[in-house]
Structure 1
Amino acid sequence: MGAYLLGVLLFALGIAVTIALHEAGHMLTARAFGMRVRRYFIGFGPTLFSRKKGHTEYGVAAVPFGGYCEIAGMTALDEVTEEEAPHAMRTKPAWQRIVVLSGGVAVNLLLGLVVIYGVAVASGIPNPYADTRPVVGEVVCTSDQRADGALSECSGAGPAGDAGVEEGDRILALNGEELADFHQLRDTVLELPGETVTLTVERGERVSEIPVELDSVTRYTTSGDTYEAGSIGLASSPVADAVRQFGPVEAVPATFAYTGQLLQATVEGVLQLPAKIPGVVAAIFGAERQMDGPMSVVGASFIGGELVERSLWDSFWLMLASLNFFLALFNLLPLPPLDGGHIAVVIYEKIRDVFRRLRGQTPGGPANYEKLMPVTIVMAALLISLGGVVLIADVVNPVRLFG
């Protein structure tokens, strides 16, 4: 229990540091361009501690789930004093404003890269160059699942074996769709009970198409309900060189390659986020919590505790890197009040001014944020509501990696 609590606290601290550095990215770039930074705070709500140095008030607020960097004149609605006017953000060139608005995102990406590089050199990361396409490790028979979770006894070669699939075969595609790994093969087969599928199989120098009639087997959900699932009768061979340690030089391209894979997965996760919210709501009322669903900082800290409890420090650090990538990409969504929303406004201003010049008009000045306020309020309410729902789910029905 002591190791678990240590892991929870360490991951929570890692999140706090991530937020602090994200906001520092905004603050430092703003100062570099001569903008006035009024406040730099970690957390929201009532102030616990603050200290003013120069023109900036530094502080910590009571609710630690976030932070902010207040820059004078960030929008046209922000009133500035006569002394602040020359340093107002809205008076600066568009490219400088975009750099400042992207400063936090850049820091998150850099942090993720640094963490992954450190793990790659110190102990090893999932090998971005490994061939993960499924290789048959064993051809087996298929059977129903019993209520206690065990599989019933079975006999015979199984669907794949009867069709001619052999141990050592590499499965390249299923019904013409290329397979990235065995998990994709398994997940697809589960949804096709009793159907006939075509495997593209590589055996030595030869590639052939093998039709396989899937079995229909009984499986149980965690809540005890039964359903019919497809079964092909194959077990995967372990991926060769799945985790690899790199030297200081070769770790650089490997870090970028693995980061690219993580960013692609993160983009897919962000796009799928709205579809996963109903599952989170259902989990509050006792439904099974999905492993790949959204988590709050509390839920992520619980996972960090589980990893430290089992001395899985590599996974601990890689999850922290993944969190940085999620924060970076989520903040880039072109929706106010996210950083991406403000960047979208700056880009709109530049495009608008191009058309104004073509018509012989002068630039239009800062965008009217009053028209954006309804959208900003709605989005802020949605984000707060989403955060509350996920937080409640993490407390009453948290994701558990190890049961």
Structure 2
Amino acid sequence: MNTLINALGVLLFAFGIAVSIALHEFGHLLTAKAFGMKVTRYFIGFGPKLFSFQKGETEYGLKAIPAGGFCEITGMTALEEVHPDDKPRAFYKQKVWKRVIVLSAGSITHFLLGFIILLILAMTLGLQNNKDLPVLAQVSDCVQDYTVPFDAPCPASAPSPAKNAGLKPGDRIVSIAGKPIATWTDMQKVTRDLSGPNEFKVVRDDKELTLTVDVPKVSRQVSDGKGHVEIKQVGAIGVIVQQTFVYGPVDAVPATLAFTGDMFVNTWKGLMRFPERIPAVVKAIGGGERDLDTPISVVGASRLGGDAAERGLWNFFILMLAGLNFFVGVFNLLPLLPLDGGHIAVNLYERVRDWIRKLRGKPAGAPVNYMRLLPLTYVVIFIGGAITLLTVTADIVNPIRLQ
């Protein structure tokens, strides 16, 4: 049964990727048609054609290899031969701002899709506590040492300090013993060093309350951060952190916007660190331990989706799908041909160049000769293909899996 759920999860995640690709190309299609450009073909996939149909001047269809798609717009460059009747509608004949909108529409579609996915998540399963906020999800009935199973009944001799003090789920801790608390990690570090009665300030229903918690010392396993674990007497009060936050329709929008901003920052940081993580992928293919921080392909992402489905971690499943959309959207805007960002860079270069020429009393320059850019384009394609091959291979022979 678990294997079946895993397989269904893989297929569902792969379907989500296919839908994202289709919507990416649809973004190009929709904006191109809105500006009066001629779109001759809109296909999902590559390779042999499975089926297609004609509607107006555009052929819509599906191809055998679900690894991308394309939207064919007449006259993408001035080098393309265009029928005289179609020249006014050719892409290269349009104003630069229209061309940039059409080229960026695919990435914008990914960003919108990622935001909508997160918005739905915010109102259903909840957004992750990615800022490590010290908000209480649960107040335990007792505090016990590490030798007692987590689900063991509470003895009368080990009452919950937090519960006795009046702490409740939803409380946000703002200070402990006079020390400001910004994160759950701060709360744990401060509490571990305490014993006896201490002042806890919390925010509940937008009001600040001061509670006194009698902190006991219990035996716990503590890591030193270097892989070693030792038994120590630490302060504990019997509370569990809120892992996710569910929002109403009104609060969900600003919360999702803030969460989306954080994901964009993390996506950009991950993209900047992408090259330095490639050696770890090569090492993993050779049998080395697979670093959880190494890049993965759509194969690896789909397998993780299957693992998440098998364990019922739908929050993680949906969050990963949103993250994938943000990554593809940002990556596609990099100023490298043949990416959309490369074409945007060429069009903006022409606009700035012609503006400077105009100031100098010169006519507009000739369109950029894409043939001269082919060597650089081939280098980007080769590197991209090599990285794809490496990550797919690593995801097959030494995949990252949820434990």
Equivalent residues of 2:132, 2:185 under 8 A apart: no
Equivalent residues of 1:291, 1:399 under 8 A apart: yes
2:77 partner letter:
T
Please state whether the residue corresponding to 2:273 is helix, strand or coil: helix
Corresponding residue for 1:101? 103
CA separation of 1:180 and 1:291: change in aligned 2, threshold 3 A = farther
1:331 partner letter:
N
CA distance in 2, matches of 1:13, 1:74: 30
Alignment deviations for residues 111-153 of structure 1 (CA, whole Å, 9 cap, x no partner)? 01111111111121114665369xxxx9x9xxxxxxxxxxxxx
How many residue pairs match? The answer is 334
Alignment deviations for residues 38-83 of structure 1 (CA, whole Å, 9 cap, x no partner)? 2211112222222232222222222211111111111123221223
CA separation of 1:276 and 1:243: change in aligned 2, threshold 3 A = same
Please state whether the residue corresponding to 2:72 is helix, strand or coil: strand
Which residue among 18, 30, 33 is the counterpart of 1:31? 33
CA separation of 1:181 and 1:272: change in aligned 2, threshold 3 A = farther
Corresponding residue for 1:122? 124
Corresponding residue for 1:264? 265
Please state whether the residue corresponding to 1:83 is helix, strand or coil: helix
Using the size of structure 1 for normalisation, the TM-score is: 0.75
CA distance in 1, matches of 2:380, 2:27: 24
Corresponding residue for 1:391? 392
1:78 partner letter:
E
Question: Which residues in structure 2 correspond to 1:118-267 (within 5 Å)?
Answer: 118-127=120-129, 131=133, 182=185, 219=227, 240-267=241-268
CA separation of 1:341 and 1:216: change in aligned 2, threshold 3 A = same
Which residue among 12, 15, 21 is the counterpart of 1:13? 15
TM-aligned CA deviation for residue 373 of structure 1? 1.1
Equivalent residues of 1:266, 1:325 under 8 A apart: yes
TM-aligned CA deviation for residue 386 of structure 1? 1.1
Please state whether the residue corresponding to 1:293 is helix, strand or coil: coil
Equivalent residues of 1:131, 1:239 under 8 A apart: no
CA separation of 1:38 and 1:266: change in aligned 2, threshold 3 A = same
CA separation of 1:307 and 1:85: change in aligned 2, threshold 3 A = same
Structure 2 residue runs of 5 or longer lacking an equivalent are 136-142, 146-174, 190-198, 202-222
Alignment deviations for residues 360-398 of structure 1 (CA, whole Å, 9 cap, x no partner)? 012224222122111111111111111111111111111
Please state whether the residue corresponding to 1:324 is helix, strand or coil: helix
CA separation of 1:132 and 1:294: change in aligned 2, threshold 3 A = farther
Equivalent residues of 2:358, 2:364 under 8 A apart: yes
Corresponding residue for 1:287? 288
Please state whether the residue corresponding to 1:84 is helix, strand or coil: helix
User: Which has the larger displacement, 286-295 or 20-29?
Assistant: 286-295
User: Which has the larger displacement, 123-132 or 392-401?
Assistant: 123-132
* % identical aligned pairs: 47
CA distance in 1, matches of 2:106, 2:343: 13
Alignment deviations for residues 256-305 of structure 1 (CA, whole Å, 9 cap, x no partner)? 00001111100001111111111111111111112122111111110110
CA separation of 1:47 and 1:131: change in aligned 2, threshold 3 A = same
TM-aligned CA deviation for residue 311 of structure 1? 1.4
Alignment deviations for residues 311-337 of structure 1 (CA, whole Å, 9 cap, x no partner)? 111211111111110011000111111
TM-aligned CA deviation for residue 8 of structure 1? 0.3
CA separation of 1:379 and 1:239: change in aligned 2, threshold 3 A = farther
Corresponding residue for 1:356? 357
Q: What RMSD in Å do the two structures reach over aligned CA positions?
A: 3.4
CA separation of 1:99 and 1:287: change in aligned 2, threshold 3 A = same
Query: Rg bigger for which structure?
Result: 2
Corresponding residue for 1:68? 70
CA distance in 2, matches of 1:129, 1:345: 39
Corresponding residue for 2:89? 87
Using the size of structure 2 for normalisation, the TM-score is: 0.75
